[in-house]
Amino acid sequence: DMFRNVEPRWVEWMKLFLAIIPFPEISAARSMAMVARIAPGEELRTGFTMQMIDEFRHSTIQMNLKKWYMENYIDPAGFDITEEAFGKCYATTIGRQFAEGFITGDTMTAFTNTLFVAMPSEAARNGDYALPTVFLSVQSDESRHIGNGHSLLMAALKEPENHLLLERDLRYAFWQNHAIVDAAIGTFIEYGTTNRDKNKESYAEMWHRWIYEDYYRTYMLPLEKYGIKVHHDDVQAAWERITKKNYVHKVGQFFAVGWPVNFWRIEAQTDKDFEWFEHKYPGWYAEFGDFWKWYAKLSHKGEKVLLFNSDVGYVYPHRCWSCLVPCLIREDMVVG
């Protein structure tokens, strides 16, 4: 019986994850319906039509997965209000604005391995075998969808007047993916797990393998020979935000601070977690250790329930007007 063995820490984060992910899928379906009408050639139009059907399937099975969790997990609170919370919660509105961009007709390229491969792997480590069953089925479609997007991209490259538009869109899409997908999936994987095997990859290591090596080096770089300018500095900046500026960890901290208005619970990190984070991200404990110790104290009887506390000096951040993710790397903020 999976629900007798699954880690509660993991399932709590699924309340947020499954509140968001069906909407990008259904938005992608609407996008593909538009692209299928304008794509050059019968083969591409057929491909995007089939992709539209795939995206409907993805959204449907993910909604049903959420319902299955709600019906079987010992604490369904949170799963039952995800649709109501979707447009109101400070966290889900980030996913909403991200997915609404799909409706414009942008084609899919890549960046899905961290979502549809890394998430199921971590789920299995935490005793959740339902998520891998559903999401690995989705990922098998994604490889075909990437082919659709790449084929349409190659067709658009034939016209030189498209180059500046493609450069702008690729640059914007990469940064949106980094700012939102890395924030969400990185947090789910790093802070939703209880598995602290030091031999497994951290999110930063996964990012280097799947985003830097696969997406950037094998997908984006070859576009330069067709006349597309690739913004290498953006890729480097994203990598440094993850490895040097602790972007994912600051997102996890931000979600924890918002606990009174969350519809999911966030467990405090333990000494075992501290040791793993320090092993994978040297210097983590010095920056985040005191915060998580303070957070753990909130559950003790007699503690005051405070959103912010002078002991840790956390100041609520402003939101980025583009991605809606809070400006957590405060030294990068430009005030003017």
Over 60: is that where the pLDDT of 110 sits? no
Q: Write down the pLDDT at residue 260.
A: 83
Domains in the chain with CATH codes:
2-243 (1.10.620.20)
Q: Phi-psi region for residue 273, left (φ > 0), alpha (ψ -120 to 50) or beta? A: alpha
Share of the chain above pLDDT 70, in %: 94
For the stretch 287-304, pLDDT in tens is: 999 999 988 988 777 776
For the stretch 62-91, pLDDT in tens is: 999 999 999 999 999 999 999 888 878 989
**Which comes out higher in pLDDT, residue 312 or 317?**
317
The angle formed by the CA atoms of residues 276, 281 and 287, to the nearest 5 degrees, is 100
Over 50: is that where the pLDDT of 107 sits? no
Q: Quote the distance between the C-alpha of residue 287 and its chain's center.
A: 23
**Which comes out higher in pLDDT, residue 56 or 257?**
56
Over 50: is that where the pLDDT of 281 sits? yes
Sequence-separated (6 or more) residues with CB below 8 Å from residue 212: 235, 239
* Whole-structure pTM value: 0.93
Residue labelled with tokens 């084929």: 151
For the stretch 177-211, pLDDT in tens is: 899 999 999 999 999 999 999 999 999 999 999 99
Q: Write down the pLDDT at residue 308.
A: 59
Q: Write down the pLDDT at residue 11.
A: 97
Helices (H), 281-335: 284-297
Q: Write down the pLDDT at residue 335.
A: 64
Cα–Cα dist 298/89, whole Å: 22
